[in-house]
Structure 1
Amino acid sequence: MKSIAREDATKYEFGRDMEPLLEVSPGESFRVETWDAFEGVLFDHGFGEFTAEDVPNMQAPPPVFDANPLAGPIYVDGAERGDTLAVTVEEIRPQRGVTTTMEGFGSLAGRSGWEECPVNHAHEVTLKPGPSGTTADGTAHLEIEDHEWAWDLNPHIGTITTAPGRTVQESVTSQGPWGGNMDVRDLNQGSTVYLTSFNDGGLLFVGDVHASQSDSEYTGIAVESTAEIVLSIDIVETPVPGVFRIEDDESIIHVDSALNAGTVEEAVNGCFVAMMEELVSEHGLSKREAYVQMSVNPAVTVRLYQFVYPGFATFGVKLDKSFLDQFA
């Protein structure tokens, strides 16, 4: 199986003029080893308090610190500009986990009464295998202030993108029709994400695996992990509204962000419109049927994947496929 080694998965920018690291055929499985969001620096430094001088990534030039190193680009034979790439996550195995709070970052930054929270302080999160013998269905363990917390892992890919048509983007704040740092916890093993290709070959970049994350990623940092993932890519013709579309055996999700759509309201509404249009064009509902179902049917939910100050908000309108059984 073709692969990208971790030492090569270190790009903090992505663009169309970068030399491909890998060339794959449609449907071909390939392996990628990824870094955690800080490229191992917090593991090397040790956990607890740290300063910006301890973490060179935090001293990057504006607009933001360096994080979320990516592997890519991955060139897909036969992919053309305007195609849609259907990227299937066949396996995802987080290996070592860390979470941290950071000074001036996260949704509590500048809020009185919580000054001790948005500070530079890292915590190791131990990842233990589950029934499969891997961390794909394992548990997280975190010791913090005399308590040990444990919860189920939900491994997923935080940053996935194709190269834009012209611009070079960075891997932290970029969110656009190409993808980006969307932190969608439903982009997990067994799911397929649909992304627009803006260049021949598609030019996919991927990284920033999270071993687990709550809705909102409120502190700005999930359980960031080194990981090994196996992907495959097919070429399809269906256009992608918003940022991307996700599908698995149980659900369909349309995803957008405030940065891409312009406002929170436009992002959420765009996801609803995309879902309604799919129900009309692919499943034969009338426009009025689709519209009313968005309001009355509990099979339709809204996910708040990312809500991080300043200005990061990503959303998904999610449809349980059981909804479609009555239209089969």
Structure 2
Amino acid sequence: MTIDHVLGAELGRPGFRADVAPVLRLRPGTGATVAFHTDDAVYRELHEHGDLAKLAAPINPVTGPVYIEGAEPGDALAVHVHDILLPEYGWSQSLPGAGALAHRMPDSVMSRRIPIDAEGVHVTDRHVVPPRPMIGCIGTAPAAGVGSTIMPTTALGGNMDLTDVAPGATVYLPVEVEGGLLSIGDIHAVMARGESSFVAIEAAGVAIVSIDLVKDAGYRAPRVETADEWIFVGLGDPVQESIRRGYEDVFDTLVDVHGWDPMDAYAVMSAVVHSELGGPTGSEAPDPLHPFRAVGAVTLHRLPKSVL
């Protein structure tokens, strides 16, 4: 694949923000490809000294931002993921206070360097699994403040940790500021849906994407399109609110966009639209004293294209 633009990992920084000068201006719809190199320095540091208090590298830096010509508030960026290149190793770690089983794991950093080769991802000495590279953190800049690259996930994206954000998928991200200001980071070599430890097999890598623009999209949360599905992201606290908002977006798409009868839409949704918990990062800002404790929920709602 021809790469038209290369953005180095040195352009990574924490947070999605509108006051950072764009590193690239791009005209949408040209098919031009951009390679976003991402960084794993924080995991390397933790592996070497095992102390969160001594970290010098930021957690989940995102490379960018890229300014998309013509993008205005109310539009959406359509980010087509063409490929994700992985290095020769990644990281698996257990961090104090993070993950669903923090109460079962030691109150200290535990770390493993995970080889990645032609055989697969060597999660343990006995478990070699096929790589399923994905982008964990992708989003646009908010009109005010800073969008976190850790948590929460917001209407503009962020650290969504969705396994579907993988080669062949298109990610639709709402735009709040002129140019959108797209940034990408946090590549995983492989991750289970849910990411129980909050740290899957993390890796420095390269995401190769192209970008289109959807004018007046009016999306209130990210969406992901794959070959077979439209995946609607729900956000809210508690989880029931996240589910309701995701269902509303599916329903409105069927009724308002595709012209379905409301009862037809409700019946089909109950029959074939599967819902599940998304990434572990929550939808509300966590308590500052417990920055890895998620509040609210990210949910996914899968609409098969075959019913449209």
> What TM-score, normalized to structure 2?
0.87
Quote the offset at 1:115 in angstroms.
4.2
Summarize deviations over 1:157-214 as a string: whole Å, max 9, x none: 1111111011123311142221111111101111111111111111111111111111
Pairing of 1:128-147 with structure 2 (within 5 A): 128-129=117-118, 139-143=120-124, 147=125
Give yes or no for contact 2:135–2:207 (8 Å, CA) kept in 1.
Answer: no
User: Does structure 2 conserve the Cα–Cα contact (< 8 Å) formed by 1:175 and 1:182?
Assistant: yes
Task: Judge conservation of contact 1:97–1:225 (CA < 8 Å) in 2.
Answer: yes
Give aligned pairs, total.
291
1:92 aligns with 2:64: no
Larger strand share, 1 or 2: 1
1:302 deviates by 1.6
Change (3 A) 1:115 1:101: closer
Query: Which residue in 2 is equivalent to 1:61?
Result: none
Which has the higher mean CA deviation after the structures are superposed, 19-28 or 276-285?
A: 276-285
Q: 1:122 maps to which residue?
A: 111
2 CA distance for matches of 1:281 and 1:166? 30
Q: What displacement does 1:238 show?
A: 5.1
Q: Is the 8 A contact 1:242 1:271 kept in 2?
A: no
Instruction: Report if the CA contact (8 A) 1:20-1:72 is conserved.
Output: yes
Map 1:299-318; keep pairs closer than 5 Å.
300-307=273-280, 309-311=293-295, 313-318=297-302
Structure 1 residues 1-328: aligned runs within 5 Å: 1-9=4-12, 11-27=13-29, 28-36=32-40, 40-43=41-44, 46=47, 50-57=50-57, 66-95=58-87, 96-109=89-102, 111=103, 114-116=104-106, 119-129=108-118, 139-143=120-124, 147-237=125-215, 239-257=217-235, 261-297=236-272, 300-307=273-280, 309-311=293-295, 313-324=297-308
Task: Report deviation, 1:46.
Answer: 4.3
Distance 2:218 2:195 in 1: 25
CA distance in 2, matches of 1:163, 1:172: 14
Partner of 2:288: none
Name the amino acid aligned to 2:280.
F
Is the contact made by 2:147 and 2:154 (CA closer than 8 Å) also made in structure 1? no
**1:310 Cα offset (Å):** 3.3
In angstroms, what is the RMSD of aligned CA positions? Answer: 2.1
Distance 1:21 1:174, change over 3 A: farther
Deviation, 1:271, is 0.9
Give the aligned residue type for 1:165: A
What letter matches 1:52 in structure 2? Answer: L
Q: CA deviation at 1:303?
A: 2.9
| Runs of 5+ unmatched residues, structure 2 | 282-292
The residue identity in structure 1 corresponding to 2:59 is A
> What code does the residue aligned with 2:112 have?
H
SS at match of 2:73: coil
Is the deviation greater in 315-324 or in 224-233? 315-324
Secondary structure at the aligned position of 1:43 is classed as helix
The aligned amino acid for 1:34 is T
Comparing 301-310 with 262-271, greater Cα deviation is found at 301-310
Equivalent-residue separation in structure 2 for 1:312 and 1:30 (angstroms): 33
CA contact (8 A) 1:242 1:256 kept: no
Alignment partners' CA distance in 2, 1:140 and 1:320: 30
Distance 1:292 1:45 in 2: 50
Q: Is the 8 A contact 2:91 2:203 kept in 1?
A: yes
Deviation for aligned residue 1:278: 1.1
Residues of 2 paired with 1:129 and 1:149: CA distance?
14
What is the DSSP-based 3-state SS (H/G/I as helix, E as strand, rest coil) of the residue aligned with 1:31?
A: strand
Q: Percent identity?
A: 30
- The whole-number CA distance in structure 2 between the counterparts of 1:103 and 1:276 is 40
Q: Secondary structure at the match of 1:108?
A: coil
Does the 8 Å CA contact 1:42/1:55 hold for their aligned counterparts? no
Check whether the contact 1:215–1:303 (CA below 8 A) recurs between aligned residues: no
1:85 and 1:202 in contact (8 A); partners too: yes
1:45, distance to aligned residue in structure 2 (A): 6.2
1:307 is matched by which residue type in structure 2? P
**Is 2:45–2:55's contact at 8 Å kept on the other side of the alignment?**
no
Shift of residue 312, structure 1, vs aligned partner = 5.8
Residue 94 of structure 1 and its aligned partner are, at CA, apart by 2.1
Q: Residue type matched to 2:245 in 1?
A: G
